[in-house]
Chains A and B, each alone.
Chain A
């Protein structure tokens, strides 16, 4: 079998096992949290009868393992289930499908992650390559210092500083990124300008430094010295000879950061009031809305698995020894 295909199949199989494990862990962790959906929703107003009524209606009175297998059976059929919210509250069932709840939020998150990736990935590559090219120059040092500074600050701090300068002192960009499905694209881009800038500053250092390190690492190899001796220019050596062999580690780091953009930006979402999936999951955890938490966790796990898989594939494709094994 072709190595790319076998890797994909093997990884997908492992991915499924990982998903199963993740769902069990998430389910158990939520079970361990104090209070259930009924108690949390009713808060101070929770009485024994109303909580019991909630539990009965939501099926929370069943033992946990039965609820878990019910859920898994649903997911296998492509049904993420019904959110707890709205269901027990009214006479009629007004709860929403988890998929319907997650859908628009996921779109928003992917949009923000996509725009950020479009800007930060090329920028990080250009900076990484150019700093490798002019390593130990003032340019190299200042880029390194700047990106290290921005990655060292917590993201909410970067966000607040940007808001202070770009939206409070000078009212250039909106500090609220409250977009919805009806927001036109140009306004949407304007509204997410600050979150994108914040995320770019936070993730760029990692990718840029990995690019730089991977290339510099290769520059000591004999084949690069051969290229230099044959009279290739510095740019040529790096772009033509070093970079193709550096893709594997770079792709891994990029995949890692893209996954972070999807699953880890809840702080940025909160600061800019961006309706993304992170906020949804935090909300769901605080209200013990288990179906929504499970749905989000599933999507996060899938994101990680798929992105890592693509990084591996890039690693294989760019390495002739792996692509054409003997």
Chain B
């Protein structure tokens, strides 16, 4: 009881609800000695986020075609900017858990009708109070008939969105989806005031002061932000610094406080700088080499298996990611995610088995693998390493270096075997529906008609509606096994997000892994030490 009280008081001091004097008085009253109480106060205050300062962020993305409409957000600059200016119904917190953002709570009894209860009294930057109508308008913008939002496909299963009083929104889905609260956390679907989806007015921690697409975004703190324990900087200045060397120079010279996408080859040197910290998270992002089953010879199970066994995954992690990543097991669910099938055996490099399957496939001659660094940095090198390891199994892979320009329109999802990256998705269902089910256009393996694929598609639909956690786990484990063994997905590695941070800036120590730089919410969560 006493400990709990002290803990509570310490939390209050950390949050700034009470001052140091009040804290001391209250804990001394519990009979704690003075030195002990002083120690507690110091500890609580050290962890306390401090308000103030201008946070300068050097971002390795950004383009003159960027807009403030989150529906077209497609790079990390616009992603961070969206989180700066606006909120979503739910969000993934630093601990990786899904929590309400603008929604105070959400519930469903059948996974088909979802009720989201909004926080009361939330204000937009222009002073307007948030109501259910704004949410409805935002969802119309992203999911309506005429929508050009990238989230349109994601919301296709939404039958209707209705308000129920000023602070409740009710979603009716076509089919049950237990993961729907995750869907609404998608960064595209930010909530903006009715009638103004694109000017950058939102409820977010910072309000736009100066916005120059592809150059910078400068924002001032939103004084009426509805989260009292967030948004610690007075001002945020994001600069787009596309050149890696320029970005690393900027953080080394103190011209920015955080620089993302550091060069893995020099990160060890960067870490030696006395003023810098290197942060690293293993997320859901992964590199793949999809084989299309509608292109010969990849329609042959044994050939696919031979190629999967002919790849030395650890070598790729060591040489392409320089150790900053994890080996993949030919399915897209990372070991840090819920429902990861830990019971599946890790696929190892096995030239003998690969040669066995290759012989069984009856294929002869070279197999073409298209790669370009547009797919991911080091994709061509990775393809060469795969060709070398496959050669030991007697398989001849011919690496074709494709142009970066137009890679996504002309090579990926068209040629039989190519390199690709996926940022990953927060839930298995979302990941499967993005790239593996029969109805998605991004099914880059064209894995649709084999017996295993048919079974997989049935299981995904079943899992979506299943509210029983144990049963869902079983379903998803089986889905992962089906992709791993029968699918055309060759997934050798998951990459880490690595960025450099000035020691002047600090965070809670817990970093969200769903996106680079603390779930792309660094400006909301970090503070000056």
Contacts and interface: CB of A to CB of B under 8 A. Distances in A.
Interface of A: 33-35, 39-48, 50, 53-54, 83-86, 88-92, 94, 101, 104, 160, 163, 167-168, 171, 174-176, 178, 180, 182, 270-273, 275, 279-280, 283-284, 286-287, 289, 292
Interface string B424-443: 00000000000000000110
B246 A273 contact: yes
A175 B148 contact: no
A45 B252 CA distance: 35
Contact of B64 (A35, A101, A176): A101
B147 to A, nearest CB: 8
A174 B255 CA distance: 7
B69 A175 contact: no
B410 A89 contact: no
Interface stretch (B209-217, B382-390, B467-475): B209-217
B60 to A, nearest CB: 11
Contacts of B1: none
B64 A44 contact: no
B212 A275 contact: yes
Contact of B148 (A88, A171, A180, A280): A88
B406 interface: yes
B245 to A, nearest CB: 7
A167 B114 CA distance: 56
Contact of B250 (A48, A92, A273, A286): A273
A202 B374 CA distance: 32
A175 B250 contact: yes
Nearest to A84: B65
B246 A270 contact: yes
A289 B405 contact: no
B246 A43 contact: no
A35 B64 CA distance: 18
B441 A47 contact: yes
Given A90-B197, A90-B198, A91-B197, 8 more contacts: A34-B406, A41-B65, A83-B64, A85-B66, A86-B213, A90-B67, A91-B141, A280-B214
A167 B67 CA distance: 33
A299 B440 CA distance: 44
Interface stretch (B160-168, B236-244, B302-310, B328-336): B236-244
B252 A271 contact: no
Which 10 residue pairs spanning A and B have beta carbons closest together? A34-B406, A85-B65, A35-B406, A89-B72, A176-B255, A39-B409, A35-B409, A90-B198, A90-B69, A283-B64
Interface in B107-158: 141, 146-148, 150, 153
B243 A90 contact: no
A171 B94 CA distance: 35
A85 B74 CA distance: 13
Contacts of A44: 408, 412, 420, 442
B253 interface: yes
Contacts of A171: 253-254
B331 to A, nearest CB: 19
Nearest to A166: B253
Contacts of B246: 175-176, 270-273
B77 to A, nearest CB: 12
Contacts of A284: 64
A178 B215 contact: yes
Interface in B165-200: 197-198
Nearest to B152: A50
Nearest to A86: B67
Contacts of B242: 270
Given A88-B148, A174-B253, A275-B215, A182 B67 contact: no
A111 to B, nearest CB: 15
B502 to A, nearest CB: 14
Contact of A280 (B64, B216, B410): B64
B249 interface: yes
A33 B406 contact: yes
Given A34-B403, A167-B253, A89 B212 contact: no
B65 A160 contact: no
A247 to B, nearest CB: 39
B27 interface: no
Given A85-B65, A180-B210, A180-B215, A94 B409 contact: no
A180 B216 contact: yes
B74 A90 contact: no
Nearest to B69: A90
A35 B405 contact: yes
A168 B255 CA distance: 11
Contacts of A89: 67, 69, 71-72, 148, 198
Given A85-B64, A89-B69, A167 B249 contact: yes
A86 B65 contact: yes
Nearest to B237: A178
Contacts of B141: 91
Nearest to B420: A44
B326 interface: no
Nearest to A54: B148
A163 B248 CA distance: 11
B220 to A, nearest CB: 14
B26 interface: no
A50 B442 CA distance: 13
B110 to A, nearest CB: 31
Contacts of B241: 176, 273
A273 B243 contact: yes
B216 A178 contact: yes
B256 interface: yes
A283 B63 contact: yes
Contacts of B442: 44-45
B64 A292 contact: yes
Contacts of B254: 171
Contacts of B150: 42, 45
B231 to A, nearest CB: 23
A33 B410 CA distance: 12
Nearest to B241: A273
A280 B72 CA distance: 20
